[in-house]
């Protein structure tokens, strides 16, 4: 197994360990497992990043053409975002969602390891990183924001239902969850907007037109519109439960169409590489 | 050379309130009592804790038994109604148990309401008084500081103090599940009632920005507002001011709902759906229970809050078990330190004795060697020091380790072997 190839299974193990430690912490409410959870998660994220870096060094951009590799990158960035966030805010329960997410996203890359493709010369323009980096970043931000919203819904139903006890004690306040989720959606939207613009220029370079009715273009614009609606709803006073539900729904649509388009309509996007 | 910590007194477990009252110390009596205690021959150091739940005398002594007798007599004299009566209620802890006891008290495990936060502050006050009076020495200083550290550890590592066990504090605990910060929040108090006022006080303690007070009788509202540094609001203006309130506490004798669904729905619109926490402390209820169905409205009535408080009380019991484990470990650590303290004078005495011999012999030798220059003299000096250090290294290490067991035979043997107790400066404490 090649050098970066060893890193990935190790990262997977650590993601799993972190997930179990987070769950252990939530069940026992003991602070002991928490240190392990964060330690393992940071370790997993580091190894994961190293594995991705190794892949990039060997294969160039083409390393990340297959959809499972893209998911893997998004997972890695999401975990990193969460770790940065967790330094400032106590968000243990969110970690219990982010850690398994990192695990699943990486697992797909590990199981369906499908080699790489050389990037065609015409793709190697500066527009490619300018498109890909904000796109991955945006997706990762949306992933974390939907985790925050899931925890919001859990906390909200606890408070409404007047059930109090166990790991629900560990939930952060509604206000902070709502604010953070909103802020994340704003940043994610900014990143997505940039990705859409640079993506269009990339498309013009490759296919000769800013817009060519590619499935990937259609779904990108649709998800962008969905998030635009969410942001608009937020600014006119939607908050709390409904905003959280919409945040999660937006991400589900984003994730399904992302995977669906890549798998079933390879078109000229990633598919032309893989 | 052995010292023992002895705690003699009455607690809410051992004695009824009349007995505790009759023993309580205050201000000058306390200082005087500390002086009286330390003046006794069998007592080295002393401190007194006197709260409504306990009156306890903490002393260190070479002979624990005679210290217990002294303190018992001292307390009996205070109570004045004869030994027998008091003896029934006296709680005595010594040695390991005494250390454990104070750690438990500081950590609020021995409190009437387990986990209540006041006891630690009280303990600090009483320690401060003992320190000022000069009755606390090296052992008690360390003892109390350790107790404070243990209490802090228990507080941070277990959930013992995090659960609100009263209805009013449960309300505030819930508020902090909804709101992240309070300095930009406004609370509103409708009506007056002990629990509602307590909850308002708790919220002010959390730093809410403003408090609106309203009442059927406006004069009462003004009065209460003055007490809380709040703003009085006439009852008929309630709907207008409700928009400002993030937390609303209701406690009136009204027999119809003051907050109804249509009213709050309208308020929510005005507030751009920012969350509202409604606390209904009144029976019959002041707030329509259906309000809880509205988005971003969280309604708790007195029964809900009681359930939370009761659950928390049970939870504290579980957390207390974990606290006991921490305390056990800390007791061991403290006793080790105390035991090492016993070894220290012996070790110092051995070193002093060896060094005195070395110096004497060195001087004698140097006198017979007049031709030596300063450098050679210094070399001889450091060589002899090195020999002593190397010879003593192993015995001293063993003494430090074995000294941890009280009345270690090693310590006794060492003092005997080197004739330490007969010579001057033996360092016996």
Give the tens place of pLDDT for each residue, B230-254.
Answer: 899 998 888 889 999 999 998 888 8
B309, closest residue in chain A (CA to CA): A164
Chain A interface mutation, best of B156, B161, B291, B296, highest count of A Cβ atoms under 10 Å: B296
A236, closest residue in chain B (CA to CA): B272
Query: Positive or negative CA dihedral for B357, B363, B368, B372?
Result: positive
Specify the pLDDT at position B427: 39
Report d(CA B104, CA B102) in Å as an integer: 5
pLDDT, greater one: B88 or A273: B88
Residue A190 in this model has a pLDDT that exceeds 90: yes
Specify the pLDDT at position A274: 28
Residue A158 in this model has a pLDDT that exceeds 90: no
Residue A193 in this model has a pLDDT that exceeds 70: yes
Mean pLDDT value of segment A202-226: 82
Q: Where are the alpha helices (DSSP H) in B158-205?
A: 167-178, 194-205
Chain B interface mutation, best of A30, A160, A168, A245, highest count of B Cβ atoms under 10 Å: A160
β-partners of residue B46 are B59
Task: Give A10-19 pLDDT, tens digit per residue.
Answer: 888 999 999 9
Report d(CA A32, CA B325) in Å as an integer: 14
- Of A113, A111, A176, A120, nearest in space to A149 by CA: A176
Q: Which of A30, A155, A162 sits opposite B304 (nearest CB)?
A: A162
Q: Do A175 and B179 touch (CB under 8 A)?
A: yes
- Write out chain A residues lying below 8 Å of B294, CB-based: none
Query: Positive or negative CA dihedral for B73, B78, B83, B86?
Result: negative
Mean pLDDT value of segment A101-107: 87
Q: Per-residue b/e over B231-251, b at no fewer than 16 CB within 10 Å?
A: bbbebeebeebbebbbbbbbb
Give the helix/strand (H/E) hosting B250. strand B247-251
- Classify residue A209 by burial, with Cβ atoms within 10 Å: 0-12, 13-18, 19+: exposed
Specify the pLDDT at position A186: 94
- Write out chain B residues lying below 8 Å of A173, CB-based: 176-180
Give the range among A82-91, A161-170, B144-153 with minimum mean pLDDT: A161-170
Q: What does pLDDT average to over chain A?
A: 82
Q: Hey, which residues of B are catalytic here? A: 52
How many Å lie between the alpha carbon of B309 and the closest alpha carbon of chain A?
Answer: 10
Looking up tokens 């994961």 gives A48
Confidence of residue A65 (pLDDT cuts 50, 70, 90): low
Residues of chain B with pLDDT under 70: 1-2, 79-84, 162-165, 402-408, 421-429
Coil, strand or helix: which one is A117?
coil
Tokens standing for A65?
Answer: 């053409």
Q: Which residues of B touch A (CB under 8 A)?
A: 157, 159, 162, 174, 176-181, 272-275, 292, 295-296, 298, 300, 304, 307-308, 311, 315, 322
CB distance B145 to B131 below 8 Å: no
Q: Do A173 and B273 touch (CB under 8 A)?
A: no
Tokens standing for B124?
Answer: 């600090």
Chain B interface mutation, best of A153, A160, A162, highest count of B Cβ atoms under 10 Å: A162
- Of B317, B312, B316, B319, nearest in space to B164 by CA: B312
- Of A155, A203, A192, nearest in space to A177 by CA: A155
| Pairing assessment for the beta strands B54-61 and B4-11 based on DSSP bridges | antiparallel
Give the end-to-end CA distance of chain B in Å, rounded to a whole number: 6
Q: Which residues of A touch B (CB under 8 A)?
A: 29-31, 155, 159-160, 162, 164-165, 169, 171-176, 179, 237-242
ipTM score of complex: 0.82
* Cβ-proximal residues to B411 (8 Å cutoff; 6+ apart), any chain: B1, B342, B343, B346, B399, B402, B403
Mean pLDDT value of segment A212-232: 86
Report field, pTM of the whole predicted structure over 0.80: no
Tokens standing for A269?
Answer: 């996007």
Specify the pLDDT at position A240: 87
Specify the pLDDT at position A143: 92
Residue A44 in this model has a pLDDT that exceeds 70: yes
A241, closest residue in chain B (CA to CA): B295
Confidence of residue A8 (pLDDT cuts 50, 70, 90): confident
A242, closest residue in chain B (CA to CA): B295
| Pairing assessment for the beta strands B247-251 and B186-191 based on DSSP bridges | parallel
Q: Do A240 and B273 touch (CB under 8 A)?
A: yes
Q: Do B159 and A164 touch (CB under 8 A)?
A: no
CB distance B408 to B402 below 8 Å: yes
How many Å lie between the alpha carbon of A160 and the closest alpha carbon of chain B?
Answer: 6
Q: Do A155 and B181 touch (CB under 8 A)?
A: no
How many Å lie between the alpha carbon of B425 and the closest alpha carbon of chain A?
Answer: 49
Q: Where are the alpha helices (DSSP H) in A112-173?
A: 127-161
β-partners of residue B188 are B212, B248
| Pairing assessment for the beta strands B45-51 and B210-215 based on DSSP bridges | unpaired
Mean pLDDT value of segment A180-202: 92
Helix/strand/coil (H/E/C) assignment for every residue in B135-151: CCCHHHHHHHHHHHHHH
């Amino acid at each position: 197994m090649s050098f970066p190839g060893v890193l990935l299974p190790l990262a997977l193990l650590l993601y799993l360990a972190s997930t179990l430690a987070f769950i252990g912490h939530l069940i026992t409410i003991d602070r002991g497992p928490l240190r392990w959870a964060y330690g393992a998660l940071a370790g997993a994220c580091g190894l994961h990043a190293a594995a991705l870096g190794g892949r990039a060094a060997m294969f160039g951009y083409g390393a990340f053409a297959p959809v499972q590799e893209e998911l893997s990158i998004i997972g890695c960035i999401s975990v990193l975002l969460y770790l940065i966030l967790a330094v400032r805010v106590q968000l243990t329960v969110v970690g219990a969602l982010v850690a398994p997410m990192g695990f699943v996203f990486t697992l797909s890359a590990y199981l369906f390891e499908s080699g790489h493709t050389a990037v065609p010369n015409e793709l190697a323009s500066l527009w490619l990183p300018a498109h890909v980096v904000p796109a991955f970043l945006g997706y990762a931000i949306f992933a974390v924001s939907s985790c925050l919203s899931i925890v919001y819904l859990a906390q909200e139903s606890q408070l409404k239902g007047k059930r109090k006890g166990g790991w629900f004690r560990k939930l952060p306040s509604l206000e902070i969850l709502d604010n953070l989720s909103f802020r994340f959606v704003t940043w994610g939207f900014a990143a997505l907007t940039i990705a859409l613009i640079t993506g269009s220029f990339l498309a013009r370079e490759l296919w000769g037109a800013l817009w060519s009715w590619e499935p990937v273009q259609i779904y990108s614009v649709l998800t962008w519109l969905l998030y635009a609606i969410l942001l608009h709803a937020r600014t006119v006073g939607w908050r709390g439960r409904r905003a959280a539900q919409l945040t999660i729904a937006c991400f589900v649509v984003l994730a399904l169409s992302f995977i669906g388009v890549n798998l079933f309509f390879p078109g000229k996007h990633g598919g032309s590489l893989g | 050379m052995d010292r023992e910590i002895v705690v003699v007194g009455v607690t809410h477990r051992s004695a009824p309130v009349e007995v505790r009252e009759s023993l309580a110390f205050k201000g000058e009596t306390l200082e005087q009592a500390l002086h009286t205690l330390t003046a006794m021959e069998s007592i080295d150091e002393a401190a007194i804790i006197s709260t409504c739940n306990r009156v306890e005398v903490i002393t260190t002594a070479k002979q624990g038994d005679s210290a217990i007798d002294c303190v018992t007599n001292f307390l009996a004299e205070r109570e004045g109604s004869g030994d027998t009566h008091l003896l029934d209620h006296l709680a005595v802890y010594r040695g390991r148990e005494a250390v454990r006891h104070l750690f438990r008290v500081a950590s609020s495990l021995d409190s009437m309401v387990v986990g209540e936060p006041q006891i630690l502050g009280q303990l600090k006050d009483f320690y401060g008084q003992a320190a000022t009076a000069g009755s606390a020495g090296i052992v008690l200083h360390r003892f109390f500081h350790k107790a404070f550290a243990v209490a802090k550890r228990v507080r941070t590592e277990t959930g013992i103090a995090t659960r609100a066990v009263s209805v009013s504090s449960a309300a505030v605990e819930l508020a902090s599940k909804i709101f992240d910060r309070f300095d930009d929040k406004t609370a509103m108090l409708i009506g007056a009632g002990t629990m509602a006022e307590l909850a308002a006080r708790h919220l002010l303690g959390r730093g809410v920005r403003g408090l609106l007070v309203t009442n059927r009788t406006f004069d009462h509202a003004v009065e209460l507002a003055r007490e809380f540094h709040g703003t009085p609001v006439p009852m008929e203006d309630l709907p207008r001011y409700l928009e400002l309130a993030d937390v609303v506490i209701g406690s009136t004798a009204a027999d119809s709902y003051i907050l109804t669904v249509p009213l709050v729905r309208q308020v929510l619109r005005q507030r751009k759906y920012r969350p509202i926490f409604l606390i209904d402390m009144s029976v019959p209820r002041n707030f329509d229970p259906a309000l809880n169905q509205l988005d971003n409205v969280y309604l708790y009535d007195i029964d809900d809050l009681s359930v939370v408080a009761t659950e928390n009380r049970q939870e504290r019991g579980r957390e207390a078990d974990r606290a006991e484990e921490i305390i056990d470990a800390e007791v061991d650590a403290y006793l080790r330190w105390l035991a090492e303290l016993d070894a220290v004078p012996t070790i110092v005495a051995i070193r002093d004795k060896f060094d005195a011999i070395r110096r004497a012999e060195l001087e004698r030798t140097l006198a017979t060697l007049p031709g030596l220059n300063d450098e050679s003299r210094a070399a001889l000096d450091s060589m002899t020091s090195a020999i002593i250090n190397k010879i003593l290294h192993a015995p001293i290490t063993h003494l430090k380790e074995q000294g941890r067991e009280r009345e270690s035979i090693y310590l006794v043997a060492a003092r005997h072997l080197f004739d330490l107790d007969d010579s001057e400066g033996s360092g016996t404490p």
